[in-house]
Amino acid sequence: GAGVSQSPRYKVAKRGQDVALRCDPISGHVSLFWYQQALGQGPEFLTYFQNEAQLDKSGLPSDRFFAERPEGSVSTLKIQRTQQEDSAVYLCASSSSIGGSYNEQFFGPGTRLTVL
């Protein structure tokens, strides 16, 4: 596709509910990233995939957060038993390069999650 797409754009969940957020990266992009952006703050790194391999999940805030990219393309970020503090915008980004010091990351529009 022309850019990174994410769905849904908005999600309202009741506390304790499980949610799944989808990211479709730019076709052919090897690297995929998930970020969490709290209101009024910059994004914070959650996890990094190189193809289907999750190489870094150091930013995932708890074991309730799980991400996968089984075929090296579409990725899903799953949050189990959502809590109010999970409310944020979840951004996905993809890059054509593998790591590297100059890799351009292209961001999707984000999914705004609100936990009631």
Partner 1 sequence: KNQVEQSPQSLIILEGKNCTLQCNYTVSPFSNLRWYKQDTGRGPVSLTIMTFSENTKSNGRYTATLDADTKQSSLHITASQLSDSASYICVVSVGDSSYKLIFGSGTRLLVRP
- Cα gap 76→24, rounded to integer Å: 9
**Residue 59 CA neighbour count, 13 Å, CB half:** 18
Question: CA-CA-CA-CA torsion for 55, 7, 96, 36, nearest 10 degrees?
Answer: -50
Give the residue, chosen from 34, 95, 113, 115, that forms a contact with partner 1 under the rule CB under 8 A.
95
**Residue 52 touches partner 1, criterion: CB under 8 A:** no
- CB of 104 vs partner 1, minimal distance in Å: 6
**Residue 57 touches partner 1, criterion: CB under 8 A:** no
Max CA pair span of the chain:
41
Specify the residue, 23 or 115, whose C-beta has the smaller distance to partner 1. Answer: 23
Q: Which residues bind to partner 1, rule: CB under 8 A?
A: 4, 31, 33, 40-45, 48, 56, 91, 93, 95, 99-110
